[in-house]
Structure formats: structure tokens, C-alpha cells
């Protein structure tokens, strides 16, 4: 067994009160990693993640911050470093979707919020990680994982091309940042989840959307948050120590 591969990583996950981020926090904590659980508004849900981790004798802390506000991102990272004694990895996961409609029907407020949370929020968090994670080459590399979407390559016509476009930006950010930060011993990767059964589906206005669209998925079913989170934790672990600039589809073949 390669012990370096499973060595504890001090991990911050944005948007970890629910869905994929929550699942990643539980998996990380179960393997002994200290975890900072960021959330925006659902304090009870974040506290429940921390309680579930404590019940497994794990270490975690819930940290409120809206990643779309740059003034809240630096304090979030300060608090995570203070609580965990430093940071080795960040999963930039927080993201939003909005009700299904055509671009022609979308109002300014929706487009502004979509770009603010999914693009600017990810840029603010990735920037803060880039400032704090550099380390000497004789240490295991630090890791940033960005959360894209299969929509970045499918475009989501008639549903949410705005969301898809924000995720295209995440793919490009992953490619550029991996090259920019390699010399600082930071790996940067992304995951493109497909249709995953989380609360986000309800935010599209069609709560059972992932199941309704199962016929479009080669594996014939939606994915679970846990299935995406397992790939995410592998990518930030030292088991993936030579993987950087990769965008991994976790989408049942879609
Ligand atoms: P989810 O179940 O809706 O959970 C979203 C999480 O993000 C919550 O913890 C929420 O916190 C947090 N969040 C939202 N806006 C935030 C903000 N401005 N600042 C900080 N935290 C914020 O979502 P999910 O399905 O797990 O999705 C996670 C990521 O995967 C997203 O980037 C999404 O685009 C991507 N993804 C999901 C799917 C899918 O089918 N589910 C597919 C492709 C990609 P609160 O509860 O406090 O609001």
C-alpha cells in the first residue's frame, strides 16, 4: 500500500453543505483528512455535515461565506487555514443553476448571478488557493479541483446555455491554471459531472430532471453525489500526484 497516496490532506471544499461537496467532505473525513465545510446560507445543513464527521471521529469546521463576494473569500481561506493548521487542497465546488428556459427569455439578474457565482466565485477561490498553496518540489504537490459540468461540452440548448457557458469557462481555467501553477508544485484538475441526483435538479425547475433524462445516459441512470465525490477526492489525493490539467468526465458515458 502506498501510504503517501492516502496521507491526510487539509482540505477546503466550497459549497459542502449539500450535494457533491457534502459527499466529498464525508469521504475525505472518513479517511482522516481535516475538512473545512463552506456554505452560503444553509447553516443547519453545514452543521449536520460537521456532526456526521464528528460521529466518525473526524475533524471538520463549518465556514459561512458567499464565494461570489471577493470580500468574503479571503477571510474564508484565513479561517480554513486557522482551523486546519494550513491547507493542502481546495475543491472549488460551489455553483448554481437556474430554471430551464431559452437564452432569449433570461433576464439580466439571472445572467449576472450565474456568472458571479459560477465564474467569478470560482476565480476568486482559485486565486486565493494559488496564493496560498505553493510549496517546495520535495513536498507532495498541493491540489486544486474545479467543478465543471458535462454541459460545458453539450451546451445545454433550450435548458440553460448560460450555465453551460460558465462551465466552459471552468474548463479553460483548469487548462490555464494547471500550466501556470505546475512550477509552484500545485496540481489543477476539473471534473465534469453529468446528470447527478442532487438538490440542484430542483433548482432547474424540474426536480426529477436527472431521472427523466436517464434515457440520454449510456449507463441508463443518473449518478450520485457520492460517485462524483469519490473521483474528486482521488484527484486531490497524492494517489493522483502526476495528474494535472485533466478534465475528468464523471457522467455515465454521456
Ligand atoms: P447543490 O446540491 O445545489 O449544492 C450546492 C452547494 O453550493 C450548497 O452547499 C450551497 O450552499 C453552495 N453554494 C451555492 N452558492 C454558493 C455561494 N455563492 N457561496 C458558497 N456556497 C454556495 O449542488 P450540487 O449538485 O452538489 O453541485 C455542486 C457542483 O457540481 C456545482 O458547481 C455544479 O454546477 C456542479 N455540477 C452538478 C451537477 C448535477 O447534476 N448536480 C452536474 C454537473 C455539475 P447553501 O446550501 O448554503 O446554499
Q: What confidence tens digit (pLDDT) does each residue in 88-104 have?
A: 999 999 999 999 999 99
Is residue 187 pLDDT above 80, yes or no? yes
54-57 contacts, C-beta under 8 A, 24 or more apart: 56/29, 56/30
Q: Which atom of ligand 1 is nearest to the CA of 150?
A: 43
Nearest-CA residue for atom 10 of ligand 1:
15
Q: Which atom of ligand 1 is nearest to the CA of 97?
A: 34
Q: What is the pLDDT of residues 39-78, one digit of tens each?
A: 999 999 999 999 999 999 999 999 999 999 999 999 999 9
Probe target for ligand 1 pocket from 95, 119, 150, 154, with the most ligand atoms within 8 Å of CB: 95
* SS3 of the chain: CCHHHHCCCCEEECCCCCHHHHHHHHHHHHCCCCEEEEECCCHHHHHHHHHHHHHCCCCEEEEECCCCCHHHHHHHHHHHHHHHCCCCEEEECCCCCCCCCCHHHCCHHHHHHHHHHHHHHHHHHHHHHHHHCCCCCCCCCEEEEEECCCHHHHCCCCCCHHHHHHHHHHHHHHHHHHHHHHHHCEEEEEEEECCECCCHHHHCCCCCHHHHHHHHCCCCCCECHHHHHHHHHHHHCHHHCCCCCCEEEECCCC
The CATH homologous superfamily for domain 3-250 is NAD(P)-binding Rossmann-like Domain (3.40.50.720)
Predicted model pTM: 0.98
For residue 96, report the distance from its CA to the centre of ligand 1, in Å. Answer: 5
Q: Which atom of ligand 1 is nearest to the CA of 167?
A: 34
Is residue 16 pLDDT above 70, yes or no? yes
* pLDDT (0 to 100) of residue 200: 93
Position with higher pLDDT, 99 vs 6: 99
* pLDDT (0 to 100) of residue 31: 96
Cα–Cα distance between 155 and 71 in angstroms, integer? 31
CB 146 within 8 A of CB 231: no
Catalytic annotation present for 39: no
Probe target for ligand 1 pocket from 12, 15, 44, 128, with the most ligand atoms within 8 Å of CB: 15
pLDDT category at 5 given cuts 50, 70, 90 is: low
For the chain, the average pLDDT equals 96
Q: What is the pLDDT of residues 208-235, one digit of tens each?
A: 999 999 999 999 999 999 999 999 999 9
For residue 139, report the distance from its CA to the centre of ligand 1, in Å. Answer: 32
User: Percentage of the chain surpassing pLDDT 70?
Assistant: 98
Amino acid at each position: 500500500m502506498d501510504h503517501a497516496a492516502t496521507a491526510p490532506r487539509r482540505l477546503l471544499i466550497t459549497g459542502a453543505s449539500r450535494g457533491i461537496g457534502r459527499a466529498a467532505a464525508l469521504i475525505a473525513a472518513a479517511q482522516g483528512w481535516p475538512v473545512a465545510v463552506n456554505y452560503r446560507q444553509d447553516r443547519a445543513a453545514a452543521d449536520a455535515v460537521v456532526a456526521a464527521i464528528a460521529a466518525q471521529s473526524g475533524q471538520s469546521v463549518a465556514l459561512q461565506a458567499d464565494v461570489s463576494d471577493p470580500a468574503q473569500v479571503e477571510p474564508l481561506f484565513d479561517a480554513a487555514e486557522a482551523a486546519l493548521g494550513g491547507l493542502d487542497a481546495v475543491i472549488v465546488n460551489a455553483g448554481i443553476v437556474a430554471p430551464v428556459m431559452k437564452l432569449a427569455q433570461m433576464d439580466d439578474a439571472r445572467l449576472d448571478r450565474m456568472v458571479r457565482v459560477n465564474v467569478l466565485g470560482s476565480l476568486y477561490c482559485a486565486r486565493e488557493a494559488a496564493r496560498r498553496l505553493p510549496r517546495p518540489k520535495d513536498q507532495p504537490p498541493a491540489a486544486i479541483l474545479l467543478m465543471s459540468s458535462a454541459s460545458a461540452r453539450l451546451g445545454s440548448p433550450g435548458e440553460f446555455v448560460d450555465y453551460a457557458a460558465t462551465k466552459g469557462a471552468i474548463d479553460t481555467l483548469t487548462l490555464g491554471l494547471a500550466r501556470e501553477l505546475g512550477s509552484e508544485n500545485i496540481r489543477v484538475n476539473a471534473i465534469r459531472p453529468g446528470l447527478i441526483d442532487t438538490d440542484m435538479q430542483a433548482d432547474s425547475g424540474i426536480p426529477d430532471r436527472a431521472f427523466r433524462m436517464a434515457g440520454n445516459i449510456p449507463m441508463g441512470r443518473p449518478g450520485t453525489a457520492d460517485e462524483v465525490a469519490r473521483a474528486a477526492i482521488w484527484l486531490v489525493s497524492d494517489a493522483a500526484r502526476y495528474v494535472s490539467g485533466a478534465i475528468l468526465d464523471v457522467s455515465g458515458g454521456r
